[in-house]
Structure 1
Amino acid sequence: MENKILGIHHITAIAGGAKRNFNFYSKILGLRFIKKTVNFDDPGTYHFYFGDEKGNAGTILTFFPFGEGIQQGRKGSGMATEIGYSVPKGSLEFWIKRFERHNVIYNKPDVKFGEKYLTFLDPDGLKLELIESKTTDDRKAWETEDIKIDVATKGFHNITLTLNNIKATAAILTDVFGYKLIDQEKNRYRFATPAIENAAIVDLVELPNERGGHVANGSVHHVAFRVKNDEILMHFREVIDTLGLGVTTQIDRQYFHSLYFREPGGVLFEIATENPGFTIDETLENLGTALKLPPKYETSREQIESLLVKIN
C-alpha cells in the first residue's frame, strides 16, 4: 500500500453555545450529527461531530463548544480561515432563501477558479462557503426533511489557509503530502492531491502584512489530513519528525488515531487514520444519539453529564 495523504479527514473548530451550534449545523445546514462526546483534554466540554450518513472522512466537521463566555477569535495569518463545502450545481438559490429565512449572514454569490460559491457565517462568526464544484462529486449527501439530495452538502471541497508567506507551507503540501499546485488567482494558490477526487483541495492565501490571527470562538482549531491506517500514519510521523516540526506521538482519539504538528506558517495540522471509525461504539442507525465517553472517563460519567448542557 502506498504512503499517501488522502485529502482532508476532518476539520475542527471552536464554538460558543453548544445548543446553538448543534441547532445550526444539524437543522439549518442539514449535516448529520454523528457523534456526541467530550473534549478528551477537557471532559467538561462537548466534542461534536457532524458529517454524512457514515461519518466518512472528508465530510467531518467537529466542534469544541466552550460556552457563551469564550473569547471571540480573530481572523489573520497563520490560521485556517475558510471552510468550503461542495454542493450540487444550481443549489445556491435554495441556500440563499434558506439563509434569509433563518437570518444567516451571507454574501451574494461570486466565482473563483471557475466555480460559483456562496460565503456565509455560522452563529459564532466561523466563515464557510458553499461551492458548486466544477469536478464531479458523486458522494452521497445526507438528506433531511427540509434539505433534499439535489441541494444538500456533499462534504468538504477545500480548506483555505491565510499566511504571510506561503513558501514553506506549500513545501509541506507538495514535498511531504504529495499535493500539486493546480491553479492561481492573484494571491490565492490552489493545491490539490491526485490521490483522491473530493475533499482534495487546500488554498493558500498570501498576505505579507496580515497580522497573526487568534484561535478562539468562531475559528478553526486545526485541519486533519487522512491516511488509510496506522502504518502509513507512522510513516508520516517519521518524515515530519525528520523535518524538525515537533510532531506528537500517536494519540488515540477513539474513532481514529492521530498525530499533530504545526506547519511552518503556524497552522495546526493533524494526520488521522480512517480506522476504527464512528460505529465502534454506536450502530450506524444510532450515530449521535447518546453521549459517548472514552473508557478513562466512564467512572466520572454522572459528574461529566451534570456539567454538560442539554442540546436535544
Structure 2
Amino acid sequence: MPDFATTVLSIAMVFGPIIGYVDQYRLIIQKKSSAGFNSKTCAILLFANILRIFFWLGKRFDTTLLAQSIAMILAQLILLHIVVRYRHDPSPTTLYSNLEGGGNSSSSSLSSLLDEQLEAELDGRDTLDQPASKSRHCSLWQWHGLKRFWSWEHYLDYLNCLLIFTTVVGVLYLFLHRFSVFVEILGVLSLGIESTLPLPQCISNFMRKGTAGFSLLVLGSWFLGDSFKLFYFIHTHAPAQFDICGGIQLGIDTVIVFQFIFYSSLVQSWWEKKAARRQPLEDDQVPVLSDRPDI
C-alpha cells in the first residue's frame, strides 16, 4: 500500500501541474486569441526546468522531479506554439474580441480597452497615456533587446533562444560540474526563476484591471499544485531551494486568487452600486455659497 501511494503521488507530481495548461490551450483555440495569457509564463517554466535538469545531473535528488521537468518542458513548448500562432493576427479586433463571451456592454468595453492597448504596443508605447516624446527613450530600451525579449514574431526564434541557453549551460556544466558550489548555484537559479512563475500574470492582471483570457483552471492548478508541491518537498526532504521556491510561488498564487475575486463582474457591479449610492450623499454635503457680498 505505501508503494502504491508513493506511485500515485509521483504521477500526480509529474502530470498534475500540466492539467491547467491544457485548459489554457483549449481556451486560446476556442477564442482564437492568446490575449490575457502572458507568454513570459512559458519562458519562466522553460528556463527554470532546463536549469533543474542540469541541477539534477549534479545533485541526484528525487527522480520524480526530473520527470516533472521533462514533462513541463514539452507542455510549455506546445503551449508556446499556440500562443505565438494566435498572438500575431494583424487585426486587434480578432485578437481581443469575445474574450469573456456574450455581447454585454462590459465585455465590449473591455475588448475596446484591450484593442487600444494592443495598438499602443504596436506603436512602441508602454501605456495609452504615455506622451509621444517618451517613445524615443523607449527605443533605446528596445534597441538593447530588453523590452522585446520573448516577444518575437516567429516560433523558431524562441526555439533558437532555448537552444542557445541550453548549449551555454551545458558547456558550463561540462567544465564546472565537479564544483559543488556551481551545482548549488544551478539549483538556486532554477528554483529562483520558477518562484517568479505567477508574477508576470499577476502584473498583467493588475495592469489590465481584469483577468479575462486567463484560464481559471490554470490558477487552480497553480494554487493547489504549489500547495501540494510544497508539502511534497517537505515530505521528501528535497533541497532547501525547493522549499523556498514553493513558498514564494504559493504567496503570489494567493494574490492572483484575490485578483480573480476583486476583478470579477459580481464584485465590480457591487462597487459601482456602492459608488452610485455614495454620490448623492456627497452632492448633498456640498456647501451652498451665499450670493450676498461680504461686508
Judge same fold: TM > 0.5, yes or no: no
**Bigger Rg, which one:** 2
> Structure 1 length as normaliser, TM-score?
0.22
Larger helix proportion, structure 1 or 2?
2
Larger strand proportion, structure 1 or 2?
1
